[in-house]
Amino acid sequence: MRQLALLVALFAALAVAPIFIHSAVWMNLIIMVLYAALLGQAWNILGGYGGQFSFGHAAFFGTGAYTIAVLQVQLGINPWVGLVAGGMLAMLVAAFIGFSTFRYGLKGSYFALITLAFAEVLRILSNSVPFTGAGVGLLIELNPSAANMQFVDKASYFWLLLAITFIAFLTVWWIGNSRFGAQLMAVRDNEDAARALGVDPFKVKMSAILLSGLFSGLAGCFYAQYFLYLDPSIAYGSSVSVESLLVPIVGGLGTLFGPLFGAIALHTLSEVTRSVIGDLPGASLVLYGILLVLVILFSPRGLSGLINSLTGRVPASKKKEENNG
């Protein structure tokens, strides 16, 4: 309950932030942090709570993004309809990937590889078929109005994103406090034991990948509306997949606020480097990579774990585990 109160308070405080922040640069930064937190939270549902490490979340993200963009550009369908359709199609892709892998009990490296391959297949397809604009990409026509989900001011984009992100965080709070969440974490920690207790691992993992795919797809829809441009490597390239997993891992896997910490940390880091060494291509990714390696080497539970151990708030079970390990 305390976590829920904290969550609501935090998002309420964020909701009024645009009243005080008038700089478009700052608003943009806050939007990018929030967007990263959404991507990361989506991954966290499947990776953090479900223990299934996907290396190809771009498959969901890109499907959401392309759905909303293609519907608008090729068929003239309203983006609000596209948002719903994007979320649904991303879930469909998630259902397909989940069904084909979890049914045969594929996990670990195999799961990482297969998600990566799916994202690659979709990237090649979107690069080859005409209705996605192939390699040239898709430009959504600029026509700002609330009905078109295009806004002149950053604040409106921010509120749209905040609403989606809030739903994602609420969902994860629910996972942390529900029967379903308990089953999901049981499957993550020991699949055989969970099955022996009557949990259906297939069903639980399917639900997790569907939710994960949904929020990743919604993040993709937002991206398309915010930047109004898409091409195959933006939508299905590896950088979205990497950002998705990096955010929760750096912040703290399987924790409610981990993705938020991770998003703040990563964006602060990349802003600082940009101001120190300039816009060198690849520089911020090098730092992301170094951060990933350092976190895994020295603090596998991410920033949340680090904060907890500094403030001495380590759960008894974890302490025992550490003493034994």
Partner 1 sequence: MPDLAIVLPSVLNGLTTGALYALVALGLTLIYGVLHIINFAHGALLMLALYGVYFLNTVLGVDPYVALFIVPPVMFAIGYTLQRLVITKASHGRDENILLVTLGLAIIIENLALMGFRSDTRIIDTPYSFEVFEILGTFIPQPKVYAFIGAVVTAGLFWLVINKTDLGRAIRALAKEPKGARLVGINTNHVFAMSFGLGVACLGVAACLLLPTYYVSPHVGQGFVLVAFTIVVLGGMGSFVGALLGGLIIGVVEALGGLFLGESLGQIGIFVIFIVVLIFRPTGLLGHKV
Residues that bind partner 1 (CB under 8 A): 51, 53, 55, 100-101, 104, 106, 108-110, 112-114, 116-118, 120-121, 124-125, 127-128, 135, 238, 242, 245, 249, 280-283, 285-286, 288-290, 292-293, 296-297, 300, 325
Show the tokens assigned to 293.
């390696």
CB-wise, 26 or 104, nearer to partner 1? 104
DSSP bridge partners of 138: 230
CB-wise, 78 or 109, nearer to partner 1? 109
CB-wise, 20 or 298, nearer to partner 1? 298
CB-wise, 55 or 173, nearer to partner 1? 55
Q: 83-112: b or e for each residue (b if 16 or more CB lie within 10 Å)?
A: bebbbebbbbbbeebbeebbeeeebeeebb
CB-wise, 4 or 283, nearer to partner 1? 283
Backbone dihedral region of 43: left (phi > 0), alpha (psi from -120 to 50 degrees) or beta?
alpha
- Residue 149 neighbours by CB under 8 Å, 6+ apart: 79, 80, 83, 160, 225
Count Cβ atoms within 10 A of the Cβ of residue 66 and give its class: 0-12 exposed, 13-18 middle, 19 or more buried.
buried
Q: How far is CA 83 from CA 38, 172, 198, 297, in A?
A: 15, 21, 37, 39
Q: Three-class SS of residue 84?
A: helix
Least distance in Å: CB of 111 to partner 1?
Answer: 9
Least distance in Å: CB of 105 to partner 1?
Answer: 9
H or E element: which one contains 314?
none
CB-wise, 26 or 110, nearer to partner 1? 110
Least distance in Å: CB of 30 to partner 1?
Answer: 25
Closest CA relative to residue 47, chosen from 217, 211, 279: 211
Least distance in Å: CB of 1 to partner 1?
Answer: 31
Least distance in Å: CB of 119 to partner 1?
Answer: 10
Least distance in Å: CB of 282 to partner 1?
Answer: 4
**Whole-angstrom distance, CA of residue 302 vs CA of residue 37:** 15
CB-wise, 278 or 315, nearer to partner 1? 278
Least distance in Å: CB of 110 to partner 1?
Answer: 6
Single-letter code of the amino acid located at 162: L
Closest CA relative to residue 19, chosen from 8, 9, 30: 30
Least distance in Å: CB of 114 to partner 1?
Answer: 5
**Whole-angstrom distance, CA of residue 140 vs CA of residue 222:** 13
CB-wise, 78 or 100, nearer to partner 1? 100
